[in-house]
Structure 1
């Protein structure tokens, strides 16, 4: 994973997350204004997706940390030098990926729903 790709992923998530929040708030506001009972499916989805993304992100970060540590161990055992910054981009990418995937999916789904 390149640093450029990490920046693009972070930038995209930074813009798409507020968009998803705005779409969900609009949906809740319209339900309140029309007197329609609030659909609990979307609220349950919001919570469960955040929990799942957090767990997936933690696992992915731990795997990326393990890979970086293993690569450094092998490098040291074969006479090379340790590279302390080697896995930083991969670790950050692993942390962002689960959130980005869910936010992009929600943005597509909610924008189709409100059209």
Structure 2
């Protein structure tokens, strides 16, 4: 997206939806602890593995964006924007997906 719209979208998604995802997961873990249920172990495992995958994807995407910008002799401003967008995108994508998934659950 031109003009950093993707970066703004992903940053806004993280700012707005990440606390929602955290609250929903904490609520589910609290309810599981009170009822003695072990059903949320899958959610906890997903939470950790998604964070690790997002971090790895973010590093790789940022490095590729930087290499591409350096090969094309892009301006410093566009390089910073491209690297930032590439680094934040994996997190924004996962947060949006988790917010939709957790909001759709029937309790």
**TM-score normalised by length of structure 1:** 0.83
User: Is 1:64 equivalent to 2:56 in the alignment?
Assistant: no
Q: 1:106 corresponds to which residue?
A: 98
Contact 1:28–1:38 (8 Å) recurs in 2: no
Cα offsets for 1:57-114 (capped at 9, x unmatched): 1010000000110011xxxxxxxxx732221111111011111111111111111114
Q: 2:86 corresponds to which residue?
A: 94
CA distance in 2, matches of 1:9, 1:83: 22
Q: 1:76 corresponds to which residue?
A: none
Q: Give the 4+ runs in structure 1 shifted more than 6 A.
A: none
- For residues 1-115 of structure 1, what are the structure 2 equivalents within 5 Å? 1=1, 2-72=3-73, 83-115=75-107
Unpaired runs of 5+ residues, structure 2, are none
Rg larger in structure: 1
Task: Mark the CA change 1:4 to 1:37 in structure 2 (over 3 Å): closer, same or farther.
Answer: closer
CA distance in 1, matches of 2:45, 2:6: 32
Cα offsets for 1:42-62 (capped at 9, x unmatched): 111011000000010101000
